[in-house]
Chains A and B, each alone.
Chain A
Amino acid sequence: MRDIAIVSFAQLPSERRADPRDEAEMLEPIINEALGKVGLTQDDVGFTCSGSSDYLIGRPFSFVAAVDGLKAWPPIRESHVEMDGAFALYEAWVRLLHGDIDVALVMSFGKGSLGSIPDVLNLQNDPYYVQPLGLDSISSAALQARALIDAGKATEKDFADIAVRSRRDAMQNPFAQVKGEFDAKKILKEEPYLASPLRKSFCPPLTDGAACVVLATAEKARAICSRPAFIRGIDHRVEANSLGLRDLTVSTSARLAGERAGVGKAKVDVAELHAPFAHQEIILKEALGLDSSVRINPSGGALAANSIMTAGLTRFGEAASRIMDGSAKRAVAHCTSGACLQQNLVAVLEAE
């Protein structure tokens, strides 16, 4: 199997509203930045894949308009997933394995500010049994958080500590949206519940954002990047959609994806986990077998910026950046999708 690496990453600063830009206008600067960092142009790209969801802005086929952000004439090889950009990265990785091209461009954008994200995400629930009840994304996550507390696996204090650490780390990340010194005791004392036991600080911010990653096969990667982040393993798994058929306190899909990706084969220096809700970090750490020696989400993670459809690709970009900048030798990148961690994509990235 061909060795494939992440060689470049660019992202927009995450913000509550990315007005007045449209999707193409959000993508254009970061595509050029990501390609420019490794001295490539659109003409060098053999395959382009994007991840986004039309439901976020309510406009069907919005990803087609986003192709305007590329140089798409003469016609290019292009694909799209109605998923986070991390799943587009998976498709690009598969496409590079075909052997006929050596560079792929992956991008994603999310402009959730035009609609109501918690309500839009009810559309991922069962249309017969759950959608009519209006189960928003915060409430479904709260059912999971309560189950975790009832199982004795976590406390609200743990959730607060994760939120405080994430937003403190985000102070070092110029692209993060919610950052600063917060006090766990104050959060527990003063913040009302949005949906008990979840308080605002245990939930992700609403974010507009875009991200872009460049993948290259080994030889090309070494030629254009001093320290490529090689993808040593990557796998994704999905569980039943119905919350009532799952044990919400564990993530079997993340565990299996982590095992298949080879997370446990050697020491992990850093992990970028896509845990939109604080309690989900606890579930993911257990599922992936990450102990306290692993640096979790130095970027601040999804509690600091959670552009839907982009936050997962950003985890891949951030984890790869820790390899490329020399601060880590082996990193785990993770993306989730669906209610209560229904789908999980895990990759192991390594320096040579």
Chain B
Amino acid sequence: MTEALTAPYVLEYTYRRSMGPVIGRFLEGLRYEILEGVKTADGRVLCPPQEYDETGAPTTGEFVQLRPTGVLKSWTWVAEPRANHPRKTPFAFALVQIDGTDSCITHILDAKSPKELETGMRVRVRWAKEKRGTIQDIECFEPSSPILLGPVHLDFSVMPGVHQTAYLRGFEQGKILGGKCKATGKVYVPPRGASPVDGQPMDEYVEVADRGVLTTFTVVRIPFEGQKLTPPYCFGAIVLDGSDLPFYHLISGVAYDEIRMGMRVKAKWKPREEWETSVENILYFEPTGEPDAPFESYSEHL
């Protein structure tokens, strides 16, 4: 087949359109940020106003002023705008039912992503800065959220109390302190104000080892509001040698699928020069490499 000859060719119609009393009034109103609909013979309101309704009946010429808000009735997300589209960046085409009307206006809707859009959502008019009496005097519609942000921010002091203070002071020296119950001889980490067994003060502190048995654990894989660590991470219950109740800290330095109950772990301390009055002086607990503790040895702590 012969190769086709082609050449660029542009078609333009430089029409001037007269607008008449219905469309003309509506578009002129937009120039002044006035949004109007027209009443039909059967009492409905159309926006944009039409000279005839869909049944072919002439509309009444009676105009109704409208609020610049409405409901999104349908939309399509244009991820890659075409040359003839009004925007160069992604946007939506939309059908919007203006409040107080019985029809929809076709226009564009501004949003950052289609995830923000849902049929039925409230939208409002965003007026163009420069107006020329055209449909583009409405720059676009935009989502109008009925949610009022109401953040609360209050400043407090926190005081750990006498026993927690002793406990936290211990970390300044690289020590983990427990409190000994006079009645049972059991050691609680951290120390408590009173023994849960007999209600007596627990004011005898003992230093426990920075190593022990991992009794149980969980691997956190989902994000949540207020989370400080990046998932995944492992949180474990450790019965430190010399204590009788589990203490909670991060487990790391080992693949998550190798963490197991009964594993012997030891504290991984921060460098000494970074120590503060905080349990965070211990970065995490990691395996010691010793044989696992038998289940019976820690089963009472589960």
**A residues adjacent to B (C-beta < 8 A):** 19-20, 55, 58-59, 114, 116, 118-119, 122, 127-130, 132-136, 139-140, 142-147, 150, 192-193, 195-198, 239-240, 242-246, 248
Contacts and interface: CB of A to CB of B under 8 A. Distances in A.
Interface of B: 1-6, 9-11, 15, 17, 19, 23, 27, 46, 48, 50, 53-54, 73-79, 82-86, 93-95, 97, 103-108, 114, 119-120, 134-136
A59 B7 CA distance: 13
A139 B103 contact: no
A128 B106 contact: no
A146 B76 contact: yes
B3 A246 contact: no
A195 B75 CA distance: 9
Contact of B76 (A20, A142, A239): A142
B77 A244 contact: no
Contacts of B103: 242, 244-245
Contact of A243 (B3, B6, B85, B106): B106
| Ranked 4 nearest A-B pairs via Cβ | A20-B4, A244-B104, A142-B76, A240-B54
A145 to B, nearest CB: 8
The residue among B23, B50, B76 with the most chain A CB atoms within 10 A of its own CB is: B76
B19 A245 contact: no
Contacts of A192: 79
A240 to B, nearest CB: 4
A145 B75 CA distance: 9
Contacts of B15: 127
Contact of B85 (A127, A134, A140): A134
Contacts of A144: 74
A133 B107 contact: yes
Chain B CB within 10 Å — which of A127, A197, A242 has the most? A242
A348 to B, nearest CB: 27
B105 A244 contact: yes
9 contacts: A127-B17, A134-B86, A195-B93, A197-B76, A243-B106, A244-B97, A245-B46, A245-B54, A246-B54
B119 A150 contact: yes
Given A139-B76, A195-B76, A244 B1 contact: no
Given A127-B17, A242-B50, A196 B77 contact: yes
A118 B85 CA distance: 11
Contacts of B48: 129, 244
A221 to B, nearest CB: 37
A162 B70 CA distance: 34
A116 B84 CA distance: 10
A175 B210 CA distance: 81
A152 B108 CA distance: 24
Nearest to A244: B104
Contact of B54 (A132, A133, A146, A239): A239
B93 A143 contact: yes
Contacts of A122: 84
A116 B82 CA distance: 10
B86 A133 contact: yes
Contacts of B23: 128-129
A195 B79 CA distance: 7
A310 to B, nearest CB: 20
A20 B104 contact: no
Given A128-B135, A195-B78, A243-B95, A133 B50 contact: no
Q: Which residue, B82, B105, B134, has most C-beta atoms of chain A within 10 A?
A: B82
A114 B4 CA distance: 12
Contacts of B95: 143, 147, 243-244
Nearest to A141: B76
A133 B135 contact: yes
B79 A19 contact: no
Given A133-B86, A195-B93, A197-B76, A146 B119 contact: yes
B2, B11, B93, B95 pick with most chain A CB within 10 angstroms = B93
Nearest to B94: A143
A119 B84 contact: yes
A170 B95 CA distance: 35
Contacts of B6: 19
A279 B191 CA distance: 69
A243 B104 contact: yes
Contacts of B46: 245
Contact of B50 (A146, A239, A245): A245
Contacts of B53: 240, 245
